[in-house]
C-alpha cells in the first residue's frame, strides 16, 4: 500500500515586506535582491501570530480539500525550526486548535528540508497501515529569528505554513513512490541559529553577540545546495526507473532562483515545469515545499497520475527528495 496526498493547504500572514521596505532597514537595494535571489517581497507574521497559528490555517484548508474532519486526524507531524516554544511541540498546539484528541503529534527539525522529513515520517505510518490518515505541515516564522541588521540574511526569509493530508491508496498508479533523505552534520557551521539552545543558553552575552539569530555562509550553502539537490533528485529518478523527461512537475524549496535554475538545468528539466513563488514569499523554510505544492495544485497544474518530484535542502545540512505519482 502507498500513501497519497489527498489535500493541500497553505497560509501566509497578511503583512507584506517589499524590497523597497528593506532598503529602509539595511544597506541593500531591490536590484541586488532580485538579481541575486529572485525575491521581491515576503510575508511577515504579526506579533500575535506564532508558528502554530500559521500551521493551523494551512491545516484547515488541507483538511477541507481532503474532506477529513479535524477530529478524525490520527497523526500530526510539523516540520519547523521556529516552534511556538521549545516544548511542547508545535504539532500539539495545532492539535489543540483543531479540537482533535485522537492524533499523536510531534515536530521534526530539518530546517528547510523539514516538510520532506515530516512527509517521509508520515508516509511510513500511512503506507504501513499503522494510521489511516496523517496531517503533515511545514511551518516557520523565520523572520522572528532574522538579524535585521545583517543584509546577508534578513532579505531572504519570510513566514508561511503549508499542509498536506495523506491517506492510503490501493491504486497502483498513484501515491508516494519514494522519499530519499540525507544529512551532513559536519556542515552545521554554514547555516544555523547558534543561541538559545543548550550549547549557548539565553544570557545577556548570547543576546549581545546576536547568537539568537540566523547565521549563514551564503556562498558555501549555495555550492552545497546545487550539488546535493542534483544528486538527491537523480537518486529519486534512478530508484524509480525514471528520467527527467518523465516528470510533469517539480516542486522545489524556494531559497534562491539561481539555485533552482542551475539545479533544473543540470537535471535537464525545463524551467516551466517548476512552480516558482519565491518572488512573493522569499525563503519560508519548512513551509516552502508544501505552500508551493498547494499553489500548483490549486492552479490545476497537477493531474492524477502525474510524476511529481519534490526537493529541499537546509540547515544541518539536511536535504531530500520525494517522487510522487499525483
Tell me how far apart the alpha carbons of residues 218 and 86 are, in angstroms, rounded to a whole number: 27
283 catalytic? Reply is yes
Kindly name the residue from 192, 256, 283, 297 that is annotated as catalytic.
283
> Binding to ligand UT7 (CB under 6 A): which residues in 300-319?
313-314
Name which of 252, 281, 253, 290 is nearest 13 in CA terms. 281
Residue 186 Cβ vs ligand UT7, minimum distance, rounded to whole Å: 17
Size, binding site for ligand UT7 by CB under 6 A: 20
Kindly name the residue from 112, 154, 233, 274 that is annotated as catalytic.
112
Tell me how far apart the alpha carbons of residues 161 and 110 are, in angstroms, rounded to a whole number: 15
Name which of 4, 14, 39 is nearest 132 in CA terms. 4
253 catalytic? Reply is yes
Name which of 253, 293, 281 is nearest 136 in CA terms. 293
- Which of 263, 283, 286, 291 binds ligand UT7 (CB under 6 A)? It is 283
Beta-strand ranges (E) seen in 12-141 are 15-18, 41-44, 75-79, 104-108, 134-141
Residue 230 Cβ vs ligand UT7, minimum distance, rounded to whole Å: 14
Kindly name the residue from 253, 256, 274, 277 that is annotated as catalytic.
253
Query: Residue 3 or residue 288: which is nearer to ligand UT7 going by CB?
Result: 288
- Which of 112, 214, 232, 278 binds ligand UT7 (CB under 6 A)? It is 112
Nearest-CB residue to ligand UT7? 218
- Which of 134, 259, 287, 309 binds ligand UT7 (CB under 6 A)? It is 259
Name which of 138, 168, 122, 159 is nearest 58 in CA terms. 138
- Which of 6, 34, 74, 152 binds ligand UT7 (CB under 6 A)? It is 152
Residue 60 Cβ vs ligand UT7, minimum distance, rounded to whole Å: 26
> Binding to ligand UT7 (CB under 6 A): which residues in 3-62?
28, 32-33, 36-37
Cis peptide before 317 (omega within 30 of 0): yes
* DSSP annotation string for 172-187: TT-EEEEEEEEE-GGG
Tell me how far apart the alpha carbons of residues 108 and 90 are, in angstroms, rounded to a whole number: 10
| Contacts (Cβ under 8 Å, ≥6 apart) of 171 | 4
Find the length of the chain: 326
> Binding to ligand UT7 (CB under 6 A): which residues in 205-234?
218-219, 221-222, 225
- Which of 40, 124, 132, 151 binds ligand UT7 (CB under 6 A)? It is 151
Helices (H), 128-283: 204-208, 218-239, 257-267, 278-281
Binding mask 53-92 for ligand UT7 (x = CB under 6 A): ----------------------------------------
Query: Residue 36 or residue 182: which is nearer to ligand UT7 going by CB?
Result: 36
Residue 7 Cβ vs ligand UT7, minimum distance, rounded to whole Å: 26
Binding mask 158-197 for ligand UT7 (x = CB under 6 A): ----------------------------------------
Tell me how far apart the alpha carbons of residues 312 and 319 are, in angstroms, rounded to a whole number: 6
297 catalytic? Reply is no
Residue 115 Cβ vs ligand UT7, minimum distance, rounded to whole Å: 12
Q: Find out whether 247 and 325 touch, Cβ atoms under 8 Å.
A: no
The secondary element (H helix, E strand) that includes residue 2 is strand 2-11
Residues of this chain that interact with ligand UT7 (CB under 6 A) are 28, 32-33, 36-37, 112, 151-152, 155, 218-219, 221-222, 225, 255-256, 259, 283, 313-314
Active site residues: 112, 253, 283
Amino acid at each position: 500500500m502507498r500513501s497519497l496526498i489527498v489535500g493541500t493547504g497553505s497560509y501566509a500572514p497578511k503583512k507584506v515586506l517589499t524590497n523597497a521596505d528593506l532598503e529602509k532597514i539595511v544597506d541593500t537595494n531591490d536590484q541586488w535582491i532580485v538579481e541575486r535571489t529572485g525575491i521581491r517581497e515576503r510575508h511577515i507574521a504579526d506579533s500575535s501570530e506564532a508558528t502554530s497559528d500559521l500551521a493551523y490555517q494551512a491545516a484547515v484548508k488541507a483538511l477541507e480539500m481532503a474532506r477529513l474532519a479535524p477530529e478524525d486526524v490520527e497523526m500530526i507531524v510539523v516540520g519547523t525550526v521556529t516552534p511556538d516554544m521549545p516544548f511542547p511541540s508545535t504539532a500539539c498546539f495545532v492539535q489543540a486548535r483543531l479540537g482533535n484528541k485522537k492524533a499523536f503529534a510531534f515536530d521534526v527539525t530539518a530546517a528547510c528540508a523539514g516538510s520532506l522529513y515530516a512527509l517521509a515520517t508520515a508516509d511510513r505510518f500511512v503506507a504501513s497501515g499503522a494510521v489511516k490518515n496523517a496531517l503533515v505541515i511545514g511551518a516557520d516564522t523565520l523572520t522572528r529569528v532574522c538579524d535585521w541588521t545583517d543584509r546577508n540574511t534578513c532579505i531572504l526569509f519570510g513566514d508561511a505554513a503549508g499542509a498536506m493530508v495523506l491517506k492510503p491508496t490501493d491504486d497502483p498508479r498513484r501515491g508516494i513512490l519514494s522519499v530519499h533523505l540525507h544529512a551532513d552534520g559536519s556542515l552545521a557551521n554554514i547555516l544555523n541559529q547558534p543561541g538559545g539552545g543548550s550549547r549557548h543558553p539565553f544570557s545577556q552575552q548570547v543576546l549581545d553577540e546576536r547568537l539568537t539569530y540566523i547565521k549563514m555562509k551564503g556562498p558555501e550553502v549555495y555550492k552545497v545546495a546545487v550539488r546535493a539537490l542534483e544528486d538527491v533528485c537523480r537518486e529519486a529518478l534512478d530508484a524509480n526507473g525514471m528520467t527527467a523527461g518523465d516528470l510533469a512537475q517539480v516542486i522545489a524549496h524556494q531559497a534562491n532562483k539561481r539555485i533552482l535554475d542551475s539545479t533544473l538545468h543540470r537535471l535537464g528539466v525545463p524551467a516551466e515545469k517548476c512552480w516558482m513563488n519565491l518572488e512573493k514569499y522569499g525563503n519560508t523554510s519548512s513551509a516552502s515545499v508544501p505552500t508551493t505544492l498547494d499553489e500548483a495544485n490549486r492552479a490545476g497544474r497537477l493531474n492524477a497520475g502525474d510524476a511529481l518530484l519534490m526537493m529541499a535542502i537546509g540547515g544541518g545540512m539536511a536535504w531530500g527528495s520525494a517522487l510522487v505519482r499525483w
